[in-house]
Amino acid sequence: MNVPFSKYQGTGNDFILVDNRSKIYTDISREEIKRICDRRFGIGADGFMLLNQKEGYDFEMKYFNSDGNSGSMCGNGGRCIARYAYDLGIHKESYLFLASDGEHKAEIDSGSNIINLKMKDVSGYKELDGNFIIDTGSPHFIKFVSDVMDMDVVKQGTEIRYSEPYAKEGINVNFVEEKGPDEIIVRTYERGVEDETFSCGTGVTACAIVCHHNDVGYNDVTVVTKGGKLVVKYDRSYNNSYSNIWLCGPAEKAFEGMVEVNMKKPVA
C-alpha cells in the first residue's frame, strides 16, 4: 500500500507523520516502521507518528520509536504533530490532544514556526551519586559534565542505558553543561533510537527542571541542543513539585511524499 507521509523536525529531532484519522494505516507493523525510519534503507527519522481521531480531543498522538516499538511521550514529537495538525487543515490556536502519558495542550502561532507544548506535571526527581533520575513523560538519567560538546555521547550513553537497573526497560541519558543561571547545553542518548539525537524534548524539559534557578516560583531556562535552542518554562512549589511546564521552540515541515508499506502484520 502507498502511504502518504510528511516529515517534520523540531530542533533537528525528526519524525515521519501519517494522517490516520480514517484508521486505514493502523496496522503498520513494527518491522515496517523500523524500515521506514532507517536512514539508509528508508526515509530516515528518529520516530514515527500516527495522527488519530479521538473523541473529546482534537487528535491522538500515537508515537513509535525508530526501532518500531511503541514509545513513551516525545516532547519534540508533540510539538511537530501540532504543526502537522495545523497543516492538515485543523486550524486552531490551541490544541488538546492525547498522548501515551495523558492529555497535552499545544499552542501554535500561525505567523511563526514556534509551537508551545504543555508537558505533564512532575512531582520531583531522585538524586543518585550526584546524578538525577526524573520522569517527564519519558524516563531520564541526567549527568552534569564540564565539556559536553567534546564527549563521546554514544559510548557513555550506551554504558548507562544498558547498565543495571536500566537495561530491561531502558532510559534516556542526558549530559548537561551549565552555562549560566538560566542557560544550559544538553546532549541526549535516546532509548529506542539507540543513538544520540540532535534534540530530545522530554530530556530538555527534565534537565531544565533539575537546573531550576529559583527556589520557588517561576523558572525560564534556555536550552541549547545540537539542533537549536528550546525554552522550558515552569512553576516550582515548596514541596519540590513542578507544574505549568511548557516546552517552547520551532517545529517545521521538511518534506512530504509517498512510501510503499506492507500492511500485513499489525502492531501489537
Which positions are annotated as active-site residues?
Answer: 74, 200
Which grid cell is 130?
550526584
Secondary structure of the chain in HEC code, one letter for each residue: CEEEEEEEEECCEEEEEEECCCCCCCCCCHHHHHHHHCCCCCCCCCEEEEEECCCCCCEEEEEEECCCCECCCCHHHHHHHHHHHHHCCCCCCEEEEEECCEEEEEEECCCCCEEEEECCCECCCEEECCEEEEECCCEEEEEECCCHHHCCHHHHHHHHHCCCCCCCCCCEEEEEEEEECCEEEEEEEECCCCEEECCCHHHHHHHHHHCCCCCCEEEEEEEEECCEEEEEEEEECCCCCEEEEEEEEECEEEEEEEEECCCCCCCC
